[in-house]
């Protein structure tokens, strides 16, 4: 058995290497000889109206089960077909999160870092996003250079040294010294824009494209000097949204021009060819149009790692448009997809225990991963009891909130739902086939580099659903509680 597991681990590692070379297509070599016989299944559950919160609730054994009947609900898992490789799961380390963290008592700071980054006692976050200069979740607007300094001679991240840089440094340490970090700008300096303001949209003027590209380099250099490696950058947060906070508009043509003729070449010239460039970084609604425009130009596409997207497309009155993620993934299989932001707006402390918030995270994550997404990053990792700080009153929910007066940490259902993925599906894992035979159940599955399989099953109905985890003629019996999420690890 030990030799079998070692061989399986080696096979998964080789597949992960192949994925890193650009392959995102299914392969029959995922774990073609996988045998569930003799394996235990550890069941971790979070459920409404119970005390279960990522709780080990059962240990299952496989028995023989041939052709299931239609009356026998199943989750079918097939390790012999694999897809994208997991980059990581995490949340944004913003100014607001850093300032809230700094106000916590020392013991609560330790609790918070362990809760998010410890793989045993916490949920094992492995990714992070941060803002380049100010965003709405900053206490005020600020930049890194003096007005009119196109040479960037005055560039300084001194502002971030008070709260954000120390916070990120501690997060990296809590994660074991490694955190895949990407950074996003909300606005270029005001003088570079045609509206001469950090706020209310506006456009980057062409004469400043090159200076702005070098601004990314300066940011990366400053943060890496502080011991914060930067994996990559997105071109612009929400490039089609004119916001009352920091924002800047980029059409597809603008973004292509900037990446192809400025950002890509500048990063390459400055020895940063390994830094990933993520386009779009906005909602699912227009993501196919943006991907098609970018990837149709090989001179731009060669610099682009992939496309980032958010979940706010329903602001126009429609629902979620999950299938657009699949359209991009299946049309451009050699490029990557990353969820770069999502949260609930209109913070209300009275609703902090509402269960539906976690279920919304669960449904988005399950669907996005099944549609080909490589990595998933939540928005603010921590906010205060008002849903901030935020300098424009755009107060929102986060998976964890802190009471500034008492130091108490409040964990929302979303924290646990995210944890059912991040704790058990580790960077380098490959998605494998998981299919449910009941409409009440939503599922996905990954095989980790160590050979362990994690199957996530969510039930957002009022119905208790008994089912079998079925793998190649072997089955383990369990049940899904109403309004629950469970991860089965084998």
Catalytic residue set:
238, 341
Phi and psi angles of residue 251, each rounded to the nearest 5 degrees, phi first: -75, 175
The whole-angstrom separation of Cα 471 and Cα 389 is 48
DSSP state of 268: H
Coil, strand or helix at 483: coil
Give bridge partners of residue 77 from the DSSP assignment.
434
DSSP state of 460: -
Distance in angstroms between the alpha carbons of the first and the last residue of the chain:
14
The whole-angstrom separation of Cα 188 and Cα 197 is 9
The whole-angstrom separation of Cα 419 and Cα 413 is 10
Place of tokens 């045609």: 194
The whole-angstrom separation of Cα 167 and Cα 165 is 5
The whole-angstrom separation of Cα 112 and Cα 133 is 25
Place of tokens 């250099």: 221
The whole-angstrom separation of Cα 162 and Cα 164 is 7
472: nearest Cα among 66, 61, 1? 66
**Order of strands, edge to edge, in the sheet holding 484-489?**
55-61, 40-47, 484-489, 453-459, 441-447, 430-436, 74-85, 465-471, 474-480, 63-64
């Amino acid at each position: 058995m030990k030799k079998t597991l070692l061989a399986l681990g080696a096979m998964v590692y080789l597949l992960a290497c192949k994925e890193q070379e650009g392959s995102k297509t299914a392969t029959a070599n995922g774990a073609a000889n996988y045998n569930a016989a003799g394996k235990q299944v550890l069941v971790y559950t979070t459920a409404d109206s119970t005390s279960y919160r990522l709780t080990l609730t059962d240990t299952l054994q496989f028995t023989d089960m041939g052709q299931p009947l239609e009356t026998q609900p199943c989750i079918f898992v097939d390790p012999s077909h694999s897809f994208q490789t997991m980059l990581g799961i995490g949340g944004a380390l913003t100014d607001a999160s850093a300032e809230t963290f700094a106000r916590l008592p020392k013991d609560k700071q330790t609790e918070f870092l362990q809760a998010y980054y410890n793989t045993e006692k916490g949920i094992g976050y492995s990714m992070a996003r941060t803002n380049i200069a100010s965003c709405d979740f900053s206490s005020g607007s600020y930049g890194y250079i003096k007005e009119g300094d196109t040479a960037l001679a005055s560039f300084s991240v001194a502002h971030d040294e008070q709260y954000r840089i120390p916070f990120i440094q501690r997060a990296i340490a809590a994660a074991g010294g490694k955190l895949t970090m990407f950074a996003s700008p909300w606005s270029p300096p005001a003088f570079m824009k045609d509206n001469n303001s950090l706020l209310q949209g506006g456009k980057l003027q062409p004469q400043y494209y090159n200076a702005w590209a070098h601004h990314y380099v300066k940011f990366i250099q400053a943060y890496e000097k502080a011991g914060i490696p930067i994996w990559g950058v997105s071109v612009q947060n929400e490039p089609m949204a004119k916001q009352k906070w920091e924002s800047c508009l980029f059409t597809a043509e603008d973004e292509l021009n900037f990446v192809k003729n400025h950002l890509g070449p500048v990063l390459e010239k400055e020895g940063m060819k390994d830094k990933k460039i993520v386009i779009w970084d906005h909602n699912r609604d227009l993501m196919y149009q943006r991907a098609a425009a970018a990837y149709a130009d090989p001179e731009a596409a060669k610099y682009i790692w992939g496309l980032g997207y958010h979940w706010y497309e329903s602001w126009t009155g429609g629902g979620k448009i999950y299938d657009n993620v699949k359209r991009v993934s299946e049309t451009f299989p050699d490029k990557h997809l990353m969820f770069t932001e999502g949260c609930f707006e209109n913070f209300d402390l009275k609703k902090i225990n509402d269960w539906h918030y976690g279920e919304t995270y669960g449904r988005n994550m399950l669907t996005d991963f099944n549609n080909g997404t490589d990595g998933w990053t939540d928005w603010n990792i921590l906010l205060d009891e008002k849903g901030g700080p935020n300098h424009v009153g755009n107060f929102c929910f986060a998976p964890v909130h802190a009471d500034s007066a008492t130091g108490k940490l409040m964990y929302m259902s979303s924290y646990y739902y995210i944890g059912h993925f991040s704790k058990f599906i580790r960077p380098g894992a490959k998605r494998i086939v998981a299919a449910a035979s009941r409409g009440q159940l939503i599922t996905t599955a990954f095989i980790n580099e160590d050979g362990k399989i994690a199957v996530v099953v969510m039930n957002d109905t009022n119905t208790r659903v008994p089912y079998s985890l079925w793998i190649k003629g072997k089955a383990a019996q369990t049940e899904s509680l109403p309004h629950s999420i469970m991860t089965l690890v084998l």
